[in-house]
A and B are shown apart, each in its own frame.
Chain A
Amino acid sequence: MTHEDAAATLDPALEAELQARFDRMIAAEERIEPRDWMPEGYRRTLVRQIAQHAHSEIIGMQPEGNWITRAPSLRRKAILLAKVQDEAGHGLYLYAAAETLGVDREDLLDLLHTGRQKYSSIFNYPTLTWADMGAIGWLVDGAAIMNQVPLCRCSYGPYGRAMVRICKEESFHQRQGFEILHTLSHGTPEQKAMAQDAVDRFWWPSLMMFGPPDADSPHSAQSMAWGIKRFGNDELRQRFVDMIAPQAQVLGLTLPDPDLRWDEESGHWRFGAIDWSELDRVIRGDGPCNAQRMERRRTAHEEGAWVRESAMAYAAKHAAPSAEAQPAEVAA
């Protein structure tokens, strides 16, 4: 029985009672779990948000995966490989969270592959130099962490738990990005120029990762009321700038914003106006890498179909009446 069926057959009095119970739980900051009744809008919002988050992790492997074979030292190669691998893992944790809402990962991937669900536009920017690995770790992962930490307290249990795991694992991602840029900015003049160029290209797109200003963000208020979202886009963006600006000074790199300045009175860094028309263009598909990212993803899926099918055929042939496998003892 699907949720839609359930919703259609509920009598109004029972539905009102269930809604009241749901509202009480949200108000009491209790977690909603998969088998609880929930309003259809809440479920739809979560599916869309978690799926988009998962897609972002999976597509987000590509800009960095682009440099695995070219990393300039073996240590950096190992770190980058581990990081991209983590992103695959994070995508899987999130798809698993979405699946608790009664959707199938295969269907979500289908929505991604046919362009009906989005991923974060930041991953439609190309990674042109090695320094971009630093800028992505420091700025893009920094912004992502700022967005994700509050999600650990999301009202939907499985999403919050996935985020706890992800945030724990991500702690090294931003740090390694900072370390890459620090090494470059204290290296040769060419390396420092490479680092500055990367920061110049990724600064504004990373500010846009927090989404449009709250005033233009129609879904924000409802998500806040449901305890899915905890802080407004503008507040998180400001926190991010406050975190990054002093770190840029330590790096000896400049953020490409002539209006950026410390405001003693408010205790915040003030920054210039964001050119939202650019984000709109990228979201509409006019980014440098949109088509390329989607094609890579679709190709991997299509070219893997015969492998997945063969594994199913093998499983059917060899299905034992009861599971033959013993619990795996992992070598510690």
Chain B
Amino acid sequence: MTAPTSPTTTTAGSLDVAGVSRSAAPARPTAAEAPLVSYLLGLGDDALVLAQRLGAWVTRAPQIEEDIALGNIALDLLGQARTLLTYAGEVEGTGRDEDALAFLRDERDFRNVWLVEIPNGDFAVTMARQLLFSAYQCELYAGLLASADATLAGLAAKAVKEVRYHRDHATQWVLRLGDGTPEAHVRMQAALERTWPYVDELFDHDDAAAALPGVAVDPASLRPAWSAYVEDVVGRATLAVPQPTWRSRGGRVGLHSEHLGHLLPEMQHLHRAHPGATW
């Protein structure tokens, strides 16, 4: 693991998955961004990117009922993203609205964690990703209920009910795939192996959160409750908690997997092709 000596070194080259340490992560856009804006963008981008991934499931689900369920989760996340990005724009105060933030920022300006970028894979990967992420969001929003920021607390009050349902939905499926047929068991275990390397990053130190005591939640504080819930589900599903050999990091400061660079152009191209147009 090599850390560049200068924190301002940014090259657009490909990133070795395991080779990016936090100290190597040059934040962008740098000092000018208020911690609250960074924090809101992190939460909002998480929700937006996962909504984008889930939206791609519609018409492809294993059962039509599940098309509707995945659509519901995507819609909830999209709603959270819109609230968070709109508020980030207001706090920033330079006139950027939810669409400017969603459609006109580049990869390096997105603050989401890597977990939500993982391609959909099979249904097991999608449910593993959902369980890990929704369990995290449950603890996060429960913590934000007490935020000193009224807008954040208000969002949390609405969102905590939504994400509990998402977590429950993913739980039901992880149980049914893990403890169902042998084929599904193998696929579900593989899906946990695929997604687990992105877990640590959820609880990494975040400068923005640290600068907002009473407003933000310290990510590390969420881990015990998260682990208790998720590991219980994994056990009941007769699956094993993976021991990954590498871990992701850096999403909150704009360092992402290569996948985001494919997700964003698809999402953004139409909006960008017509500068200034209304839709």
Asked if residues A58 and B267 are in contact (CB atoms below 8 Å), the reply is no
**Closest residue of A by beta carbon distance from B53:** A69
When A74-B78, A81-B75 are in contact, do A88 and B277 touch as well, CB less than 8 Å? no
Contacts of A296 in B (CB 8 A): 59-60
Interface segment, A182-190, A230-238, A247-255? A182-190
Verify B278–A183 contact, CB threshold 8 A: yes
Residue of B65, B67, B177 with highest tally of chain A CB at under 10 A: B67
**Contacting pair A70 B269 (CB below 8 A):** yes
Contact with A along B219-236 (1 / 0, CB 8 A): 000000000000000000
Report B169-203 CB contacts with A as 1/0, cut-off 8 Å: 00000011101110111010000000000000000
On whether the beta carbons of B55 and A314 are closer than 8 Å, the reply is: no
Q: At the interface, yes or no: A177 with Cβ under 8 Å from chain B?
A: no
The answer to whether the Cβ of B266 comes within 8 Å of any Cβ in the partner chain is yes
Determine how close the nearest CB of chain B comes to the CB of A53; give it in whole angstroms.
14
Nearest Cβ on chain B to A232's Cβ, whole angstroms: 32
- The one of A81, A191, A303, A317 in contact with B62, judged by C-beta atoms closer than 8 angstroms, is A303
Interface 9-mer from A60-68, A135-143, A274-282, A283-291 = A60-68
Q: Are A314 and B180 in contact (CB under 8 A)?
A: yes
Instruction: Decide: B58 and A314 in contact? CB cutoff 8 A.
Output: no
Known pairs A187-B277, A314-B176; A306 contacts B64 (CB<8 A): no
Q: Does B61 contact A (CB under 8 A)?
A: yes
* Cβ of B114 under 8 Å from chain A: no
Task: State whether A306 touches B55 (Cβ < 8 A).
Answer: no
- Within 8 Å CB of B180, what residues of A? 309-314, 317
CB <8 Å contact, B78 and A92? no
CB-CB nearest in chain B for A188 = B277
A contact residues around B85 at 8 Å (CB):
74
- Which among A69, A73, A89 is the interface contact of B266 at CB below 8 angstroms? A69
Minimum C-beta distance from B70 to chain A (A): 9
Q: Contact at A73–B99, with CB atoms within 8 Å?
A: yes
Given A68-B56, A183-B278, A188-B277, CB of A78 within 8 Å of CB of B78 = yes
Chain A positions 70 through 90: 1 when the CB is less than 8 Å from some CB of chain B, otherwise 0: 111111111001101100110
Q: Which residues of A contact B187 (CB under 8 A)?
A: 306
Contacts of B79 in A (CB 8 A): 78
Q: A76-B279, A78-B78, A306-B184 are contacts. A68–B271 as well, Cβ < 8 Å?
A: no
- Return chain B residues, CB-CB under 8 Å to A77: 51, 55, 78
Q: Which residue of chain B has the shortest Cβ distance to A312 in the bound complex?
A: B180
| Residue of B103, B175, B180, B184 with most chain A CB atoms under a 10 A cut-off | B180
Whether A183 lies near B67 (C-beta < 8 A) is: no
A191 and B184 contact, CB distance less than 8 A? no
Which residues in B have their C-beta under 8 angstroms from that of A65? 58-59
Determine whether the beta carbon of A74 is less than 8 Å from that of B98. Answer: yes
| Least distance between B198 CB and chain A CB atoms (Å) | 21
Instruction: Indicate whether A319 reaches chain B with its CB closer than 8 angstroms.
Output: no
Given contacts A78-B78, A81-B71, A304-B123, contact A72 B179 (CB under 8 A): no
| Sampled A-B contacts (12; CB under 8 Å) | A73-B99, A74-B102, A81-B78, A84-B58, A84-B71, A306-B187, A310-B177, A310-B183, A310-B185, A313-B181, A314-B179, A317-B179
Chain B interface (Cβ < 8 Å from any Cβ of A): 48, 51-52, 55-56, 58-68, 71-72, 74-75, 78-79, 81-82, 85, 98-99, 102-103, 122-123, 161, 175-177, 179-181, 183-185, 187, 266-267, 269-271, 274, 276-279
Given A73-B99, A85-B58, A331-B161, 19 other A-B residues pairs in contact with their CB atoms under 8 A = A61-B67, A62-B59, A69-B52, A69-B266, A69-B267, A81-B74, A81-B78, A85-B68, A130-B279, A187-B278, A191-B277, A300-B61, A304-B62, A305-B62, A306-B184, A307-B123, A310-B177, A310-B181, A314-B179
